[in-house]
Amino acid sequence: MADLTLDVARKILDAALAKGVEKKLKPLVITILDARGCVKVTAAQDGTSLMRAEIAHGKAYGALAMGMGSRALFQRAQEQAYFIGAVNTLAQGRMVPVPGGVLIDAGGVLLGAVGVSGDTSDNDEACAIAGIEAAGLKANAG
């Protein structure tokens, strides 16, 4: 698989949402970007708060832009706050360096990233990983 298809993105989305329901999480927004950074699919459960879509996108975007899951970006932000701040300035504030942005890997080929927002960062990340793995792909959370 060289590209992230809409069918695969929908499988990831459905499985990530199902994980949130299974864990009884707060309402989630899930955004899936292809390797170019373009939105393949995004969905918001009923009851999400206003900025969740932007946060989910920022988690996925940051992971994709830096080539590492947003958990690694979070760690780097703690260790090198000025660097992550400078990179986020270059990215026009579009990066959200906290867990919940997970890269999608298909046998060493980067297909895109999933960003989830709505519950705790750890729970958001768990839903992204569950979605990616349900589609038979490898998740890289950082």
Alpha carbon of residue 104 to chain centroid: 9
Q: Are 42 and 53 in contact (CB under 8 A)?
A: yes
pTM summary value: 0.95
**Range list of β-strands (E), 53-117:** 101-106, 109-117
Biggest distance spanned by C-alpha atoms of the chain: 39
DSSP helix/strand/coil, 48: coil
Alpha carbon of residue 60 to chain centroid: 4
**What is the CB-side half-sphere exposure of residue 121 using CA atoms within 13 A?**
17
What residues contact 13, with CB distance under 8 A and at least 6 apart? Answer: 30, 32, 41, 43, 131
Instruction: Spell out the per-residue pLDDT of the chain, length 142, in tens.
Output: 579 999 999 999 999 999 999 999 999 999 999 999 999 999 999 999 999 999 999 999 999 999 999 999 999 999 999 999 999 999 999 999 999 999 999 999 999 999 999 999 999 999 999 999 999 999 999 9
